[in-house]
Structure 1
């Protein structure tokens, strides 16, 4: 379903409606839509900065069989009728260099990123066929589930860390799956009072998209735990972090 239409451009008698469809594709995965809160799309005049339209991508992640295959050529279409998109109709009277900005995914703010692209748009010459204007968003959405931020721990020698890792479109990660957990590097980098004291690999935890491990607690102080996921095949990388406080023993 198309998003609500917005048009901020100044129209004139000679202005022509020009439709633009924008989709955001998670790198090595599917489209980012309603299930991840959508992407905030903003269209601007790249030369003047004038805002022309804004809204969210809405719809599904798309058809897996269209997206996750090795065949297909230059004109291969990736989207189906349900694939998430943002659609706007601009009233243009002259050719404009249009900049599109995408920010999100909005349901995972700790993972949200901003990407920008630009191209010339001619009045009445729509950008709505095939997949439309496609932007690719790299990364993983990493969400540290434990320990909760700023928790105090007692007389312990280790603290359990658990994180959820999905693609930016929300697609699941698991061993031997389309997004193969066995090929990803997931690690916790532990700092104590600002100094790195340990790096701990996190292993698949038996539940879809979840990884776990235990980080050492060798001394009292303020611990920062940065968890990253990295795919060496694509360069996709995502990060989240948490903190805990170890009391004196």
Structure 2
């Protein structure tokens, strides 16, 4: 009798487990549906000035766009925000190839979480610095994203080449007086806003920095520019041409070129030329 009861209990327990197993299986989606469900995948992008720091809030950051190449659909877009990064860590600290360069200390980045249901080939593009449209550059990379495989640490790094070159004097657009000796002054920085100067991390002695006086579409004079006390300022004197030689005014152009790094920048402004007899009256 005892054996019969024991066997009956075992049969009942086995039946209950089987029913529970069936109920659990019914609650779960089919394996095929699970395998094809979108998986949140984080993509971090960092836009840097080539050979310099990260484009942060000081220069307005950079706009980043992630586009599905197969469909042309924009998956994410936004502005990189944050700091330019630690100069010592980025510029002076030796590291192995796989060690992070930009994320070892806080620095600007753009991050997006995409719901991917398949390996997706995307174009990641960046444009900046946004606060200096005259110096803005664009770069892009094609990257294969795999669902569930996040890109973090330094992330996808996009390098923008160039310099921010701004003419500070004469004030752009102000009239120049014929035959006067005028000083052309310009500031030169990397796209991340770092100053270019002699003996610095961005050494002006290794660059070609010069000014040009342009009339129409012709360069009439090239000016050798010299660094002056301020962090990133360079100057050169020049004589203003006669109005008859520049009836439409002159254009002043400043070039910063570093062929070794591939960074090139230009700033320019146009000025009317007045006869010395038409010198504007000074306001008291």
Structure 1's unaligned 5+ residue stretches are 1-12
Q: Greater shift after overlay, 170-179 or 105-114? A: 170-179
Matched, 1:166 2:184: no
Matched residues in 2 for 1:192 and 1:131: separation?
47
- Paired position in structure 1 for 2:254: 227
Q: Which one of 66, 70, 74 corresponds to residue 47 of structure 1? A: 70
- Paired position in structure 1 for 2:87: 64
Q: Is the 8 A contact 1:148 1:243 kept in 2?
A: no
- Paired position in structure 1 for 2:135: 111
- Paired position in structure 1 for 2:212: 189
TM-score by length of structure 2 reads 0.79
Structure 2's unaligned 5+ residue stretches are 1-35, 277-284
What's the secondary structure of 2:151's corresponding residue? coil
What is the CA RMSD across the aligned residues, in angstroms?
1.8
What's the secondary structure of 1:145's corresponding residue? strand
- Paired position in structure 1 for 2:280: none
Matched residues in 1 for 2:80 and 2:52: separation?
16
Question: Shift of residue 131 of structure 1?
Answer: 0.6
- Paired position in structure 1 for 2:268: 241
Q: Deviations over 1:50-97 (max 9, x none)?
A: 111111111111122221137323212102241110000011112111
What's the secondary structure of 2:175's corresponding residue? strand
Q: Greater shift after overlay, 224-233 or 92-101? A: 224-233
- Paired position in structure 1 for 2:154: 131
Matched residues in 2 for 1:158 and 1:46: separation?
56
What's the secondary structure of 2:67's corresponding residue? strand
Q: Greater shift after overlay, 113-122 or 146-155? A: 146-155
The structure showing larger relative contact order (alpha-carbon pairs under 8 Å, at least 6 residues apart) is: 1
Q: Is the 8 A contact 2:57 2:81 kept in 1?
A: yes
Matched residues in 1 for 2:99 and 2:83: separation?
19
Q: Is the 8 A contact 1:147 1:242 kept in 2?
A: no
Higher helix share: 2
- Paired position in structure 2 for 1:218: 241
Q: Is the 8 A contact 2:122 2:145 kept in 1?
A: yes
Q: Greater shift after overlay, 153-162 or 20-29? A: 153-162
Matched residues in 2 for 1:82 and 1:246: separation?
49
Q: How many residues align?
A: 237
What's the secondary structure of 1:35's corresponding residue? helix
Matched residues in 2 for 1:62 and 1:178: separation?
14
Q: Which one of 69, 90, 96 corresponds to residue 120 of structure 2? A: 96
